[in-house]
Amino acid sequence: MTELLSNYLGGQWQTGSGAGTPLSDPVLGDELVRVDATGLDLAAGFAFAREQGGAALRALTYRQRAALLAETVKVLQANRDAYYEIATANSGTVKNDSAVDIDGGIFTLGTYAKLGDSLGDRHYLLDGEAARLGKDPLFQSQHVLVPTRGVALFINAFNFPSWGLWEKAAPALLAGVPVIVKPATATAWLTQRMVRDVVEARILPAGSLSVVCGSSAGLLDQLQPFDVVSFTGSAETAAVIRSHPAVTQRSVRVNIEADSINSAVLLPADGPDSAAFELLVKEVLREMTVKSGQKCTAIRRVFVPEAMYGQAAEAIEARLSKVTVGNPRNDAVRMGALVSRAQLRAVRDGLAELRAHAQVLHEGAQQALVDADPAVSCCIGPTLLGARDADSANVVHDTEVFGPVATLMPYRDTTHALALVRRGQGSLVASLYGSDAGALGAAAVELADSHGRVHVISPDVAQLHTGHGNVMPQSLHGGPGRAGGGEELGGLRALHFYHRRSAIQASTGVLATL
């Protein structure tokens, strides 16, 4: 029987009492390891993290906690090769896609180490200036941000087992809040290995970082009023979390990142021979193929002027036809697998639904695979669809297929294009392509209320922009409406979720001591 991965909870490694759920190689079909959380004393584990880990972290200053993050970065960098091997085996990703997850997570952690150092030797933060409460300035109000005396529970998605951990854990630990992470079962191995390496390095105080692999049953029941929970995944699961008594009765703070039907828009002033057109085509290709389209920020809808619809379809199809799909261990392969057979079925089902309302412009579902058996592997080629009547394509605006799938649609004018984008009912990101700075700026502001991030790509930043789907720690990640209504990252803004704001009303002499 394959290895049963241990959970780290209550300051000790513990194996579940059940047989475990197997994690498999999505290309070869081999069983790799098993995960199980049956029989764990969750209440004791949460209490240990809350009381021991939280107290130890809060005793440190922001600068001291930032130093711990910097030391954690060193540990992760020293073990990168092992992480890449796990990602290839368990996530089926090619090396470049593994880097997005692994190196992206380490970079985010390093960024917060630097940000935390800038906060200095403090234990709490001032929020704005003191405000006079009456005619006499002697008595004033000063808002402060203090670390919440609870635990941060992270329920993460399968597509980013490294970055999904560290983009949440970095600001939480910097804020002085202990972390318990529940990685998605299908790809939990990488998360568990990273936590194991950090724990064994004895960098963080006991109880600061815990991992529970396997079922999430009972985790939400352990949450107390000053705990927080952050979830990345489906809208259906998000609804279950929001309706849990921990949230509805104990007011546990919740951050949700859910479904997102992201868009890319070519503005009308730039024709098919323009640099902006080429930038759009290049970015659509990247977003359809990186991580096999398994990114919450991937481009799902592509909008171009009516007159350019045919040329855009031809240009994108030409690039997609060169993409090789299959075993990531083969150097000739550019795009690897979906993470599981369940995800492969979900993508095929979603494609069937979209096909009923759109034309196939590039067929990837029947594409020949390199070094992979289609009867066993979870590989599927990229598929580009087209819907000439964007106004009536309701399913396209409402359905996210979490794989290498995008739909091209034409628009009449900029007003029409932006209205179509907003049909997504709130998204994580939209990208705009053009060369007119004024038009790009105006469109970006128009979309800002319905998107967590607006990525504007003009020819002058062709070699500088970070990518439609790349989430940078300096910028906000999250989105309103369908996207979950949450906020993560955004530099030091991420720390606010893990702090409590309070107004201290006192004399100027007392406030001066703060």
Residues with a known catalytic role: 257, 296
16: nearest Cα among 213, 194, 170: 213
DSSP 215: -
DSSP letter for each residue of 98-159: HHHHHHHHHHHHHHHHHHHHTT-S-SSEEEEEEEE-SSSTTEEEEEEEEE-SS-EEEE--SS
Q: Tell me the two tokens of residue 118.
A: 């800038």
The position carrying tokens 């794989």 is 403
37 CB-contact burial (10 Å; exposed 0-12 / middle 13-18 / buried 19+): buried
- Biggest alpha carbon–alpha carbon distance for the chain: 79
DSSP letter for each residue of 459-512: GGGTTT---SS---TTSEEEESGGG-SEEEESGGGGGGGGEEEEEEEEEHHHHH
Helix (H, G, I), strand (E, B) or coil at 440: helix
Report the alpha-carbon distance of residue 202 to residue 239 in Å, rounded. Answer: 37
Helix (H, G, I), strand (E, B) or coil at 386: strand
Q: In what order do the strands lie in the sheet with 228-232?
A: 12-14, 7-9, 209-211, 179-182, 152-155, 228-232, 253-257
